[in-house]
Structure 1
Amino acid sequence: MLCFAVAVIKSVDFHCQANNAAHRTIEISTKQLIVRRGQSFLLTLEMMRPFSSSDVLVLTVETDDWVYLPDERERQEYVMNEEGIIYHGSAHYITPLTWIFGQFEEDMVDICLKMLDVNPKHFRDPADDVSARCNPIYVGRVVSAMINSNDDRGVLVGCWGDNYYGGVSPTRWTGSVSILRHWYQNNCLPVKFGQCWVFAGVMCTVMRFLGIPCRVVTNFKSAHDTNNSLSIDEYYDDCGIQARETSDTIWNYHVWVEGWMKRPDLKKDNSYDGWQVLDPTPQEMSQGVYCCGPSPVAAILCGDTELKYDLPFVFAEVNADIVRWKRKMYSDSWTVGQNISTKAVGCNMRDDITNNYKHREGANANINVHVNRKSSTECQTLLLIFFGCINGQLQSFRELIESSAGQLDVKGRTEGQKLVVTDVLFLHQEATVINGQDIKLRLKLCNKDRTSRVMSIQVNAQAMRYNGKPAGNILNTVQQRTLLPGQGLQWFSFTKQVWSSRLDTVLGPAHVNREITLEVEFKNPLNKTLTDCSLTVIGCGFFRSDYVERSVLNITTIPYRVGLRSVVADFDCSSFRDVKGSCIVDVKP
């Protein structure tokens, strides 16, 4: 900073256009000076009076940069890229969702600075808050808290139910800009509604605007451990129906962000510098506030959970054991933390970063975990299958096997702690699921015993929300089958319809400041007329606000930025919601 009294300076020329172009912030503004850390810029000062060569002018420069990424390709991806992909679905069927971050939209300057100015820490001590904004650790925690509105004037209200009255369904959002603008233009009133991927997408926008490298990460089969026990307990009745909800849950997936920064506060010889987990979804309090992180990914991998911030909670999200109870049916240390995914650098491919967070189950790794973990076995089931002899005493298959541990030559074999079933049960899909086609599952029974076995087979399929909360039953059947010695039996097929949609297309080449036409194609899968239809289209450099159309599927616009740009369309009608498509447009000069 320049150490002058304000009265000494008459005017300042910030050379906004030249400086912003050199600092790659020209797309944000040509009228406001926006410069990046660690790079020189030009100012011209006009003084109130002349100075002589004998006068001493003091210039203090702080050169250390806690968020510097040495790889230019990574800087382009994690700071400069206005678009990205958020992965959702399930561990076996990962689906990409194009998300428009839009951190270079011009009003992002006022919006993001407003977010910092209305955070509770600023109200308590403005001077201390402003002086701490050079610290990305501090800023990351502030932004993580301000994206949700649970205990401040934050941006988003979370809702995980079915009633979105008074707001927008979380599945409808396709970008961050409209959310942030709505919050800013309505005097910092929270926007309704968001879920984990929306919270993460909005936080990534703010972090990239502030110059902190950031990426969105999806953890499939993500544990929510409320008591730091590192186990998720589930309770089932005799029919295989989840009997009651618990505070611990397994989410189909959970989305957070990683920010790149140094961690000199940990004093671990820089070993925990780099990617840090930050989670704006309001799950548990951290130091009395609904925020999470930054948690070093390297510390999660090593199990070093006694460090700042929130390491036990994040460690459990990728490493907790699942314990299912009727009596204790079995324990599963494999399911949680699968296919941890983020967008790859420089392309729209998925990058699996699971090995950054956890060692492969069963691998010989020396992990010093500073929490108590219960020993467990490895196994997984999607549908609960109960059967026993015809005497009417239903028994969990896992209980049946565990109670016969002394006769494993008949029932199965052990590999370490894992029980491998060899004679009775296999459950798998017939083929890969394709959008628009039925899902088929098949149960195989094989009797390797020397006597006939009369089996009572009860199958229950129960819907589950993506955050692990059980919903209604889909299927509940009971059948009896007799298995002769050496006989195999295939049984049970379950179908479920799913939807599909097509991508948008661009009619002709695109040039900046010239009108182009976008065509959105949609195929009606129903044998009835669709009513109350609306189409929402967004894209950085194409639309300065969300484009909503209710009558035509050809859209004209004038691109105002060059380069590869994504356009995302969302179609809604009375019969179904949130059918999405996207395309990439190369806008030429």
Structure 2
Amino acid sequence: MEPLLVDVVHFYPRENAQPHNTVKFEVVNDEDPKTTIVRRGQPFNGVVRFNRPYNEAEDLVQLVFSLGDKPQMETQGSMYLRQDAVPNKHTWTAKLIAIQDNTLSFEVSTPVTLPVGVWALQVVTRLKNSPERAVYDFDQDIYILFNPWNPDDQTYMEDCSLLQEYVLNDVGKVWVGPIKTTRGKPWSYGQFDAVVLPACMFMLDRADIPFHHRGDPIKMTRVISRIVNSNDDDGVLVGRWDGQYEDGTAPSDWTGSVDILSQFLETQEPVPYGQCWVFAGVVTTVCRALGIPSRVVSNLVSAHDANSTLTVDKYYTETMEELDYDPNNPEKAPDSIWNYHVWNDVWMSRPDLPAGYGGWQAIDATPQETSQGMYQCGPAPVEAIKQGVIGLSYDVEFMLASVNADLMRWRKDPEAELGYAMVDTNNYHIGRKVLTKKPFVFDPIGDEDREDITALYKYKEGTTSERLALMNGVRFSERARRYYAVISTLKSDVKFTLRDIDTVNIGKDFRVTVDIENTSNEGRNIKASLSATSVFYNGVRADMVKKTEGKIFVGPQKKEVISILVRSEDYLPKLVEYCNMKISAMAIVEETKQSWADDDDFQILKPNINIKFNDDLIINQPSTVVLSLRNPLDRPLTGCEFRLTSSGITGRTFRVPAADVASYEVLQIELPIQPNKLGKINFVATFKSVELRDINGAASVEVMEG
């Protein structure tokens, strides 16, 4: 008698997907699915048919699963099909469920710590008393993913309903813009698209993470934070912040992650260009695809502490001109303040740390500072950031500064011990709000889906707990201690207030105003300068729009106002992407040498894209979507293009050129679409022209049965 020969192996991709929460993956829903996607630590079913009936007394059937080209103990599972097999969360088992002539039905159980990835299968058959073997190679992909639904998995989330948002939701929002005009930018994650899992596998291979580490979400998320940027190992996205994107896609033009990941997989080259929210959008797509709960987090007024002092330091000359370098660290980029910065929270337990630091962990794929020699950041326990416990892995100190550093201003002073005297310190400026998308809500036009999670990252500003958490961090850092030791009592009998600018619509004028109050009984001569500058969102200045300097006398116990008017024709030619402006004011009191400086960021506001449907959407029937936009400028828009993405339509992403549009007129285009998914589908749109870009829109609509 010969060993059994395999005719066919089948894993019921669609049926297994239901209990494994993988039913949304597109490849599982193909006409004849060839890819199985399941989660670790949970049984899945298969069937094997042989060339002759199975004889229990004579035949042995062995399943050998392996991951990678050099399987070792953690990346191989080998077991005989047995009727008495007992599933166990720590080992592989294969239980024989039914025998019908040539066909065996079986159930495979996998360890709950299994490395995730594409597993290969061999079916090995032999007779009990014979060494002769027959080996059958199964030629389809079996993806085994993290299982946050399983209480024994390190990614487990007790409130499983939240996994509908943090693993299964394929559309979201990222809050961008300065504090006063922050708005939710819609983003299509598209983690179930056919291209995403293969792109994730290619990324992990390029990052060279050993296969046996791929079951550990700590190691995996650290690597993801590294490989989503291209700085070290030709990862997914090239970061760029200077407005020069002609040889790639401008960060503001992307509507979602799938186009980026498919371009990366196809060209095997880093994709130009990304900025923080693009990196964060791709990270969430990758994490959710692999089964790690993830969300995008925006920190409004975010510190980039380049010299580990837990402060953001701004330096001025003796006459209060701002320096664009750090005199104590001239070879390194100076500290900076970003209007906002976006990173990710990922969810897991932390068996490597003391109790209490599991749950949300911050990771950041935007390449800012190196960590252990590479551009990677996290996972940093959000609880450790809040408590100021900077010794815990990984990068808690950098993240603590991002949300809670003090802003310190220094003026050159030859008599001071550090060479600089402190002008002032602001404990409230950094980390004004930390925002993410609220679970289960998607508001295409408004802000109903915004969730404020500042309290997870820091105690309320000014409370004893908040100061103690920051000082806890300062205690562990020699350099930070020196900086905080200088906070001195300065003689200041003149009060300066820079008035906030809330909103300015594009094309409108605005005014920079400072109120001055002399509280002393003597007159004061004040030298002051006011300016308005266009800035990139990471705090880098672009162009001076307008500046004025002068002297003013303020009598004893008197108030004065100084201001400049900035007209639209002053700023329009000098705006850079996202239309962010910085107003700055500096002053020095001649009699007392008291100095003061302040600045404020705001955004020139632009219109949104309106998305409308002329008729009901019926599945698999052609329809039309109408995109429209009013030109807010007193000049025509040229080189216009819309980009529209939805995971619920055939073709997914469309790029459509549009005609030039005259000043203040409405531009409208119609686009044929065909919905291919029932229920609610989401659309995300962007618009660009030579004169105006970074315009967004979104809509949700129901698709019905025909």
TM-score class, shorter-chain normalisation, is 0.7 to 0.9
- Kindly state the Cα deviation for residue 47 of structure 1 after the two structures are TM-superposed: 5.3
**1:71-101: CA deviations, max 9, x gaps?**
2431111111111000111122212100111
Identity of aligned residues (%): 34
Cα separation, partners in 2 of 1:472 and 1:24, compared to 1, 3 Å: same
- Kindly state the Cα deviation for residue 306 of structure 1 after the two structures are TM-superposed: 1.0
Residues 496, 515 of structure 2: 8 Å contact kept: yes
Residues 315, 323 of structure 2: 8 Å contact kept: yes
- Give the Cα separation in 2 of the matches to 1:529 and 1:282: 37
**1:435-465: CA deviations, max 9, x gaps?**
6644444322234444444544322334432
Question: Does 2:312 correspond to 1:212?
Answer: no
- Kindly state the Cα deviation for residue 323 of structure 1 after the two structures are TM-superposed: 2.1
Residues 509, 567 of structure 2: 8 Å contact kept: yes
The match for 1:142 among 199, 223, 226 is 223
- Give the Cα separation in 1 of the matches to 2:367 and 2:234: 14
Question: Does 2:513 correspond to 1:510?
Answer: no
Which residue does 1:388 correspond to in 2? none
- Give the CA RMSD over aligned residues: 2.7
The match for 1:44 among 24, 29, 47 is 47
Cα separation, partners in 2 of 1:322 and 1:425, compared to 1, 3 Å: closer
Which residue does 1:301 correspond to in 2? 386
Q: What amino acid does structure 2 have at the position aligned with 1:25?
A: T
Q: What amino acid does structure 2 have at the position aligned with 1:360?
A: K
- Kindly state the Cα deviation for residue 193 of structure 1 after the two structures are TM-superposed: 0.9
Q: SS at the partner of 1:134?
A: coil
**1:489-519: CA deviations, max 9, x gaps?**
3331544653323432222322322222111
Residues 321, 376 of structure 1: 8 Å contact kept: no
Residues 73, 346 of structure 1: 8 Å contact kept: no
The match for 2:187 among 99, 105, 110 is 99
Question: Does 2:337 correspond to 1:230?
Answer: no
Which residue does 2:637 correspond to in 1? 530
The match for 1:334 among 398, 407, 428 is 428
Question: Does 2:696 correspond to 1:576?
Answer: no
5 Å-filtered alignment, 1:304-323, equals 304-323=389-408
- Give the Cα separation in 2 of the matches to 1:462 and 1:402: 31
Q: What is the number of residues matched between the two proteins?
A: 536
Residues 436, 500 of structure 1: 8 Å contact kept: no
- Kindly state the Cα deviation for residue 432 of structure 1 after the two structures are TM-superposed: 5.0
Cα separation, partners in 2 of 1:478 and 1:118, compared to 1, 3 Å: closer
- Kindly state the Cα deviation for residue 374 of structure 1 after the two structures are TM-superposed: 4.0
Q: What amino acid does structure 1 have at the position aligned with 2:703?
A: V
- Give the Cα separation in 2 of the matches to 1:307 and 1:451: 53
- Give the Cα separation in 2 of the matches to 1:70 and 1:486: 61
5 Å-filtered alignment, 1:175-194, equals 175-186=256-267, 188-194=268-274
Cα separation, partners in 2 of 1:478 and 1:142, compared to 1, 3 Å: closer
Cα separation, partners in 2 of 1:337 and 1:403, compared to 1, 3 Å: closer
Moved more, 154-163 or 473-482: 473-482
Which residue does 1:253 correspond to in 2? 340
Cα separation, partners in 2 of 1:433 and 1:461, compared to 1, 3 Å: closer
Unaligned runs of 5+ residues in structure 1 are 1-5, 122-128, 378-398, 406-410, 412-422
Residues 156, 190 of structure 1: 8 Å contact kept: yes
5 Å-filtered alignment, 1:524-563, equals 524-551=631-658, 553-563=669-679
- Give the Cα separation in 1 of the matches to 2:654 and 2:345: 31
TM, length-normalised to structure 2: 0.71
- Give the Cα separation in 2 of the matches to 1:506 and 1:67: 40
Q: SS at the partner of 1:356?
A: helix
Which residue does 1:34 correspond to in 2? 37
Cα separation, partners in 2 of 1:439 and 1:69, compared to 1, 3 Å: farther
More strand by share: 2
Residues 230, 236 of structure 2: 8 Å contact kept: yes
**1:115-155: CA deviations, max 9, x gaps?**
2222223xxxxxxx222212111211221111111121311
Which residue does 1:196 correspond to in 2? 276
- Kindly state the Cα deviation for residue 274 of structure 1 after the two structures are TM-superposed: 0.6
Which residue does 2:242 correspond to in 1? 161
- Give the Cα separation in 1 of the matches to 2:373 and 2:55: 53
Which residue does 2:607 correspond to in 1? 500
Q: What amino acid does structure 2 have at the position aligned with 1:85?
A: K
Which residue does 1:350 correspond to in 2? 450
Residues 512, 558 of structure 1: 8 Å contact kept: yes
- Kindly state the Cα deviation for residue 104 of structure 1 after the two structures are TM-superposed: 0.9
Which residue does 1:385 correspond to in 2? none
TM, length-normalised to structure 1: 0.84
- Kindly state the Cα deviation for residue 182 of structure 1 after the two structures are TM-superposed: 0.6
Q: SS at the partner of 1:577?
A: coil
The match for 1:444 among 494, 500, 515 is 515
Residues 546, 566 of structure 2: 8 Å contact kept: no
Cα separation, partners in 2 of 1:461 and 1:549, compared to 1, 3 Å: closer
Unaligned runs of 5+ residues in structure 2 are 61-79, 86-92, 94-108, 113-151, 327-332, 413-421, 443-448, 569-603, 659-667
